[in-house]
Amino acid sequence: MTPARLGANRRGMGKEGRITAHQIAAMLGVSQPTVSRALRGDKKVNEDTRARIVALAKELNYSVDHNALRLRTQQTFSIALVILCRRGENKANINPFYLSLLGCIAASASERGYNLIVSFQDSPANFFANYTGSRQSDGLIVIGSGQNVEGWQYFGEYARHNTPMICWGASKEDLVSIKSDNVMGTRLAIDHLRAKGCRNIAYIGPMNSEQPQFQDRINTYKDLTHEHDLPIICPTLPENAVREDQGYAAVKALLRDKTSFDGLFCANDFIALGALRALDEAGIAVGKDVCVIGFDGIATGAYAQPPLTTIEQDYYKAGEMLVEALIALLKGATPDTTPVPVRLLLRESA
């Protein structure tokens, strides 16, 4: 920025000679609100215009006065993210799916000019949803375990009292929720197992769950086995066990009962990891004698023995859609709740 150009645009200069958004707007021939929106990452601002605004702001060492912005707009420009855990769950054992989703939500919020407040909650003793009433955030995103029924009931009550809230895979129908395309994911898994020659495909997962993703997956599994005249094989899972132990116990039960199976569709990757361990102990060659497919696409699956074929969810798209949906609610618009895309990630287990 040359001294002449800077001097020609002194109008709008803040106190102590600080550059203001008004001055940047005048320099570029745009409005001050356009400058503010561009610096918040608003994608409705033309990409070229946004790039020019960001470049000039960086050149002039300009930063948004967030206190003034909050006072002017009556917004905090913060989003609260609650991760619901199982009661008493060791936070070191949280499903990494939710931690990956957390990272993508944080990235998407930052790109749109929002800070993120993160809270892990597991029981009535630490449930808290009044982030908007206490002016800590403009809205709320809730993700986490569907097994925490008390938690979903608690946050459901706040949503019914007009708290702007978006959920991931919520079990309550009256909550605005986004989820992955579980129907397509299950179809991809079963079609691939059939293409590998599997005719006795077992479903390893919860059969009557509060978590809608599991209900979507088992219902689609049953529809497809009926469609292709295949037997329904659904071993019972031990209650109150972690997912890996459930997968391990389910395969042990199939082997003990001498149930014939040549394919396993596991409702999530942790269940699949437990199933792989049981098959290995039994000396069964995974990928040859039995094919195994998981669901989620957690990074750990790549290091399983053998590496786990899985249905991978688009984490970044999920985070982006959750943030965009909440912003839509804040603007009084209808949020986009289209299911998040999935894909078959081929490895050695199937």
Q: Which of 91, 95, 206 is nearest to 144 (CA)?
A: 95
Reported pTM: 0.78
In the predicted structure, residue 240 carries a pLDDT above the cut 80: no
Longest alpha-carbon distance in the chain: 86
In a domain, 142, yes or no: yes
Q: What percent of the chain has a predicted confidence (pLDDT) above 70?
A: 91
Q: Are residues 192 and 257 in the same domain?
A: yes
CATH number at residue 273: 3.40.50.2300
Q: Cα separations (Å) of 107 from 56, 60, 251, 305?
A: 23, 25, 39, 32
Does position 66 have pLDDT exceeding 70, yes or no?
A: no
Sheet strands side by side (includes 115-121): 115-121, 78-84, 139-144, 165-168, 177-178
Q: Residue 186: which region, alpha, beta or left (left: phi > 0; alpha: psi -120 to 50)?
A: alpha
Choice among 158-172, 213-227, 246-260 with the minimum mean pLDDT: 158-172
Q: Which residue has the higher pLDDT, 45 or 268?
A: 268
Q: Enumerate residues 6+ apart whose C-beta is below 8 A from 2.
A: none
Q: Across 23-32, 56-65, 228-237, which has the greatest mean pLDDT? A: 228-237
My answer on whether 206 and 150 are in the same domain is no
Residue 49 pLDDT greater than 70, yes or no: yes
Q: Which domain holds residue 302?
A: 182-313
Work out the average pLDDT over 190-209. 94
The terminus-to-terminus CA distance of the chain in angstroms comes to 59
Q: Is 262 left (phi over 0), alpha (psi -120 to 50) or beta?
A: alpha
- Contact by Cβ (8 Å): 297, 345: yes
CA angle, corner 72, sides to 68 and 78, nearest 5? 75
Whole-number pLDDT of residue 113: 84
Mean pLDDT of the chain: 87
Domain membership of residue 346 (yes or no) is no
